[in-house]
A and B are shown apart, each in its own frame.
Chain A
Amino acid sequence: MDRNRENKSHIKEKRIHTMGKPVKITINDREVSCEKGNTVLEVCRKKGIYIPTLCYDERLESYGGCRLCLVEIKGMAKPLSSCTTPVEDGMEITTESEKLTGLRRTMLSLILSNHPDDCMCCEKAGDCDLQEMAYRYNVKPGEFTGEKWDLPVREDNPFITYEPNKCILCSRCTRICNEVVMAGTIDLTGRGFHTMPDTAYGAPRSLKNCEFCGQCVSTCPTGALTDRKSRGKGRSFGMKKVKTTCSYCGTGCNFYLNVKDNEVVKVTSDYDAPVNKGNLCIKGRYGYDFIHSPERIRTPLIKKDGVFHEATWDEALEFTAKKFKELIEEHGPEKVGGFSSSRCTNEENYLLSKWVRCAIGSNNVDNCARV
């Protein structure tokens, strides 16, 4: 592992020397200024120029595997993959041409030749990169025929469902597992036609071999890896997506709560989030069930003779205020206090702090920072 690291840093070092130097390039006859150290794909994405990709994820090192991001560069004999080609001053780039479309169609046809034609009931339909690209380039299944994978769906754990037949071998899942999380749960196994991402010896995923961060699900461009808990609960386009901040540790990851019929059914990555760039952990991605737990308290409760009784808000609030008033009058405000919570917002904490100091009249207020 160490040797690998030094090799990598050596390459990076070379790139860093000229990194950031401004250069001018031409994309589709349009002059564009950008910085050295970026790839052609990165520059195009920044400028809003579409290039199809299947194996690219901003969080990963460039791979150049899917060959869809091929572009033509003046002076080069053959098209080059834009995700692995750094920009050079004066480069003239074409991102769409008859030749490129032909190449991309062939690539997609080859992928579809070993892919189930079940978009109509696929969990990922409507949010699938492969489906989107086949549509865009008008590629239908069946152009190439041959043997197809016929492997069972794997539901060996409660978090991640794996449908190997839908895998297109972009290796994004294995790379995110080994580059970003370094959990080493999955890798490409087998050779030739039998190559597929899997755990060591095809063992079921468990806490022994997996962190269940769901990073592999977040990067999968097809329906091969999906969140098991939300399967069958709605298509991506039928969900209201609400961007928010995680309520577990202090990292402050952003993500989208996917809501259908007033129920949070899934958490999806916010790839632009400044803190986490779409990365999440088991708690952030899968720890949302408590929101709709049947054990949530639904009405105010007042205890009489050691037993809780449901009460109206008016009764509960009136009783609370009355008792506080009495105790403050009898013992003084120094004998009354409040705890706030880090689960609560800044606004709620500010108000609790203000409330204890102003309405009760003591400074007995604290939070859980020490535990």
Chain B
Amino acid sequence: MASLAAIFGSGAMTNSIREIEGMEVIFIIGSNTKETHPVIANRMIKAYRKGAKIIVADPRRVPMVRFADVFMSLKPGTDIALLNGIAHVILKEGLHNEEFIGEKTEGFEEWKKSVEEYTPEKVERITGVAKKDIVKAARLYGGSRKAGIFYTMGITQHTCGSDNVRAIANLATLTGNIGRESTGVNPLRGQNNVQGASDAGCMPNVYPGYQLVENPEVQAKFEGAWGVPLSPKAGLKATEMIPAAHEGTLKALYIMGENPVITDPNTHHTVEALKKLDFLVVQDIFLTETAALADVVLPSTCFAEKDGTFANTERKVQRVRKAVEPPGEARSDLSIILEVAQRLGYPMKYTSPEEVLLEFGQVWQNLAGITYQRIEKEGIQWPCTDREHPGTQYLFKGGFPKGKVPFSPVSYTPPAEVVSDEYPFILTTGRNLYQYHSGSMTRRVDAIESHAGEPYVELNPSDGERLGIGDGEEIRVASRRGDIKIKARITQRVSSGTVFIPMHYREAAANVITNDALDKKVKIPEYKVCAVQVSK
């Protein structure tokens, strides 16, 4: 998101979900849409039935491949080479949008030189994708002026994640496929309100509304609004706080509704770090693996027990409504925070959740026009700057906030960990259709557990045969950080040399073995590539 914001001036899905139906070309890279965003996949299928062409680039034969005109099965971590290769072909065949490049972009000539070396032949060697498929994808995407790119963590969860996003943005800029209806760049958010949590300033370098902490004017604005002096220094990111705790430089942590023991890379390290804290408070609905390590656990409410709003992946602010009373003495997160703040000497007074949203709108123009009454029937997509504003269906209709869009040269760098004789397989991780994230919700649904309650590792039949491993056999998967025992699932979904483990299962937690190496700029861990050995 941060890289997308740096390029276009705003880091969110640029189109609306319903606009997918109008796209001519849908380019899905690093997203298993049919399993992780099934209802968005329904829209893509509708477009497909109207004649849209679909391009899929993924190390695994994900279900959307069934609908694809081109499927590029790339080696994990080689996205930049592939994207630069596609750009190379678009340029060579003159499919780029000269008018758009001339009027709305900068840095084209310099960037153009940077992709010259990415010939289809070279890219085929790096990525394992056949030359003809690269050319076909380039002709489809470059040949359309109504194309959308979709990506998720398959792009961002790499040490080069922010460069991957830049490479995607370059493609859209090269063809002018941005800033129009059914045309744009669309990161699909994996969690219900991750957009809202980011909007609300739950990030160490920005206040609510992506306003920079280190800008003195912004600091003064928020000091005025909140009535206390604020720290001028950007804070630590979640993926930095855990190592800080490990080193003893972070003493206390307050965790609201998170389960980093399962979701963060390198589980052993995370557990040790949390144990070293002087004080850990966890506010959650279940005694999660993380809550078990806490000094104090505060019971909170789930979405069915509270009023409020979520912002979805297309920036739509929608109502969440209380349907049932919470169990026992559990309280809403809102009232718990207010109580703790009061006792820490910073009383905050609100009579309803809506009052909080209205205050949020006062410090961030993009939400200024949203009230509960206006979103009673249907949510509104920000920017919505005043009470008359209808919301914004797609971004950059009237141009880009920063004026011109920069091309940014990016070059392929191998992942932090590459295969060796000792660790010859690439492990990639993700979700499956049935379970969700750390599983603390879905794994408590008996019906789902009875059908998809067992962890597994996907292994290509040829690798299975070579190692003498049969379907359903329990095997050991180990990396330099740890090992797990897990059942093998022999399937063509993964190519030879690659294995996949869904992240949901605590009894064989994939993150025991994943690498906690981070992207240099945005500090996302490299969940999608690490080197492992597979044995009986």
Contacts and interface: CB of A to CB of B under 8 A. Distances in A.
Interface of A: 5-6, 8-9, 12, 157-159, 179-182, 206-207, 211-213, 228-229, 240, 242-254, 257, 259, 262-264, 274-276, 279-284, 286-293, 295-303, 308, 313, 316-321, 323-325, 327-328, 330-331, 333-371
Contacts, number: 465
Given A335-B250, A337-B235, 13 more contacts: A251-B37, A252-B310, A264-B324, A275-B316, A283-B442, A296-B286, A297-B285, A298-B299, A336-B251, A340-B197, A357-B207, A364-B236, A366-B237
A345 B308 contact: yes
B309 A337 contact: no
Given A250-B313, A358-B230, A179 B49 contact: yes
Contacts of A242: 304, 321-323
A274 B18 contact: yes
Given A250-B189, A275-B312, A298-B330, A362 B235 contact: yes
Nearest to B370: A346
A251 B40 contact: yes
B196 A359 contact: no
B51 A6 contact: yes
A336 B197 contact: no
Contacts of A345: 193, 196, 306, 308-310, 320, 333-334, 353
B241 A341 contact: no
A298 B343 contact: no
A252 B18 CA distance: 12
B346 interface: yes
B304 A257 contact: yes
Given A207-B452, A347-B334, A300 B194 contact: no
Given A262-B324, A355-B337, A182 B45 contact: yes
B256 A246 contact: no
A313 B329 contact: yes
Chain B interface residue count: which class? 35 or more
Contacts of A181: 38, 42, 45
A275 B17 CA distance: 7
A365 B235 contact: yes
A302 B448 contact: no
Given A245-B319, A250-B191, A317 B452 contact: no
Contact of B51 (A5, A213, A228): A5
Contact of A244 (B195, B222, B323, B334): B323
A290 B447 CA distance: 12
A352 B331 contact: no
A214 to B, nearest CB: 11
Given A180-B42, A370-B237, A333 B231 contact: yes
Contact of A363 (B213, B322, B378): B213
Contacts of B126: none
A347 B202 contact: no
B302 interface: yes
B327 A366 contact: no
B220 to A, nearest CB: 14
Interface string B276-287: 001101001111
A237 to B, nearest CB: 17
Contacts of B228: 358
Contacts of A349: 193, 196-197, 199-202
A86 B247 CA distance: 70
B48 interface: yes
Majority-rule SS of A interface residues: mixed
A342 B192 contact: yes
A363 B233 contact: yes
A351 B188 contact: no
Interface string B507-528: 0000000000000001111010
A153 B167 CA distance: 54
Interface of B: 1, 17-18, 36-40, 42, 45-46, 48-51, 66-67, 156-157, 188-205, 207-208, 213, 222, 226-228, 230-231, 233-239, 241, 249-258, 260, 263-264, 278-279, 281, 284-287, 291, 294-299, 302-306, 308-314, 316-325, 327-334, 336-341, 343-346, 348, 353, 356-357, 359-360, 378-379, 433-434, 436, 440-442, 444-448, 450-452, 522-525, 527
17 contacts: A8-B51, A207-B451, A249-B189, A293-B286, A298-B299, A303-B295, A313-B339, A323-B278, A324-B279, A327-B252, A340-B258, A350-B200, A355-B340, A365-B203, A367-B202, A369-B198, A370-B237
A291 B304 contact: yes
B372 to A, nearest CB: 11
B341 A281 contact: no
A331 B251 contact: yes
A297 B284 contact: yes
Contacts of A330: 251
Contact of A324 (B332, B344, B360): B344
Nearest 9 interchain pairs by C-beta: A298-B328, A252-B312, A345-B308, A250-B189, A341-B257, A363-B235, A321-B343, A158-B447, A9-B51
Contacts of B323: 240, 242, 244, 257, 259, 264
A96 B311 CA distance: 45
Contact of A323 (B39, B295, B308): B295
B100 to A, nearest CB: 26
B36 to A, nearest CB: 6
A337 B359 CA distance: 23
Contacts of A283: 434, 436, 442, 448
A367 B203 contact: yes
Contacts of A295: 286-287, 444
Contact of A353 (B202, B310, B328, B434): B202
A323 B329 CA distance: 23
B196 A346 contact: yes
Contact of A350 (B18, B67, B239, B356): B356
B334 A348 contact: yes
A276 to B, nearest CB: 5
Contacts of B49: 5, 8, 179
A289 B322 CA distance: 16
Given A342-B194, A345-B353, A359-B341, A353 B296 contact: no
Nearest to A365: B202
Contact of B231 (A213, A264, A362): A362
B233 A289 contact: no
B434 A207 contact: yes
A136 B191 CA distance: 45
A346 B200 contact: yes
